Amino acid sequence: MLTDDELRQRLRSLEAFNAERTESARNADKLGEAICAFANDLPDSRTIGILFLGVRDNGDCAGLEITEQVIQTLLGFGRDGHILPLPNIHVRTITLDGCTMAVTEVTPSDSPPVRFKGRICVRFGPSRAYATPEQERRLTERQRRAVVPFDQQPVAGSALTDLNLSIFQLEYLPAAIAPDVLRENGREVVDQLRALKLLSPDGVPTAAGILVLGRDPRNWLPGAYIQFVRYAGTEVTDTIRDQKEIDGPLSELLRRLDDVLEANIARRSDLSGLSTSERPDYPILALQELARNAVIHRTYTGTYAPVRLTWFDDRVEITSPGGPFGAVSIANFGRPEATDYRNPVLASAAKDLGYVQRFGSGIPRAGLALKRNGNPPAAFQAEADFVHVTIGAAP
């Protein structure tokens, strides 16, 4: 974090490229674009960008009341998925020279370009705008020297022909990029794939590219599937009622997963109220959230193991290869404030495609759905090499 003296200097430097001032939080898009632009760090200064909220353009105090709602609005940009990849931000309330303001400190992204609602925002001097094709290319090229996560690394031996470009152009691209940007977009498909980190700067499909668009993801990442088994009983020694392997590019895999979940949920009559209704033994939302988390946050390196979805008569168990990652530990696993992303591009793609509502909310949403349906709380076992969750059936 910057000191008060450093913040005061930024606040007074009206031509600084790494500071922006705004009077209120009424225009949320303006705030989001500013954070996105700082995360992109077009000048490659590698310095923290500062968004001052509650200050006029000339640096004078605007007298804005910094409420908890204002702070939560700013914090939301670090988890709501409007900015992808998620930015690293720190928000606090400070008082400088008698003026109380909210300060958002934005760390430049290690993997630009960063998008806000499908648009790449940049700053040059004190001005902010959407990136030109040339500026987008400069940001994409910067990935070469970054230490990138696994899902941004090229998959050796793969080529553009291993990606299904129809899925990219007809399904993924319209979901990821704002419509007006697409209409004005003169970029080649290869450049678009690079900008979305589905292709490396050298033109090789990344792990995320293979997982999201691959014609046969398992050919390159053998564990990229879900092993589903349904037992007629409560033990693995009981008769297998059904089993299948669920695979394919991300959207197809998750659609097939939804079909399997729906087909196996049983509904029974609920006579507890004034009228008869049907209650499922599991709420579909809870199973979706927990299974999708397993697909998105698992490790795809050092193992050929799939995500395992095992359905018993009294419970469902989901096992995800790879233990907690980064800021998430065995001790804090499952807490809403503990979030990190082993596969940030894959997580961004799932958000763009509509399979993630809000980052960090999957486990809490699943827990609420289970509670409302009368199921016991999900039981998590987080170990160094795997995460296992058990969901008990509603009585």
User: Is residue 162 in some structural domain?
Assistant: yes
Q: How far, in Å, are 78, 291, 333 from residue 32 at the CA level?
A: 10, 30, 29
Which amino acid is located at 48 in the chain? I
The whole domain housing 20 covers 4-130
Mean pLDDT over the full length of the chain:
91
Residue 46 region by backbone torsions, left for phi larger than 0, else alpha for psi between -120 and 50, else beta = left
pLDDT at residue 143 greater than cutoff 80: no
User: Is residue 301 in some structural domain?
Assistant: yes
Residue 184 has a pLDDT of 74
pLDDT at residue 274 greater than cutoff 80: no
User: Alpha-carbon distance 336 to 356, whole Å?
Assistant: 15
What average pLDDT does the segment 262-286 reach?
82
Confidence of residue 179 (pLDDT cuts 50, 70, 90): confident
Q: Total domain count for the chain? A: 3
Tokens 């590698």, residue located = 46
Domain boundary pick from 82, 103, 130: 130
User: Which of 110-119, 125-134, 331-340 shows the lowest mean pLDDT across its residues?
Assistant: 331-340
Is residue 288 classed as helix, strand or coil in its secondary structure? helix
Q: Are 244 and 386 found together in one domain?
A: yes
Q: For position 44, which CATH number holds?
A: 3.30.950.30
User: Is residue 135 in some structural domain?
Assistant: no
Residue 146 has a pLDDT of 64
Residue 328 has a pLDDT of 86
Q: pTM of the predicted model, to two decimals?
A: 0.81
pLDDT above 90 as % of the chain: 71
User: Alpha-carbon distance 305 to 278, whole Å?
Assistant: 37
User: Alpha-carbon distance 203 to 155, whole Å?
Assistant: 11
Quick: pLDDT tens for 7-28. Answer: 999 998 877 789 999 999 999 9
What average pLDDT does the segment 242-252 reach?
97
User: Alpha-carbon distance 363 to 379, whole Å?
Assistant: 11
Domain boundary pick from 61, 96, 130: 130
User: Alpha-carbon distance 370 to 378, whole Å?
Assistant: 8
User: Is residue 221 in some structural domain?
Assistant: no
124 phi, psi to nearest 5 deg: -140, 120
Residue 341 has which token pair? 């992303």
Instruction: Please list the alpha-helical segments (H only) found in 221-264.
Output: 250-264
pLDDT at residue 347 greater than cutoff 80: yes
Residue 273 has a pLDDT of 57
What average pLDDT does the segment 37-54 reach?
94
User: Is residue 142 in some structural domain?
Assistant: no
User: Is residue 317 in some structural domain?
Assistant: yes
User: Is residue 260 in some structural domain?
Assistant: yes
Q: Are 362 and 235 found together in one domain?
A: yes
pLDDT at residue 49 greater than cutoff 60: yes
Is residue 388 classed as helix, strand or coil in its secondary structure? strand
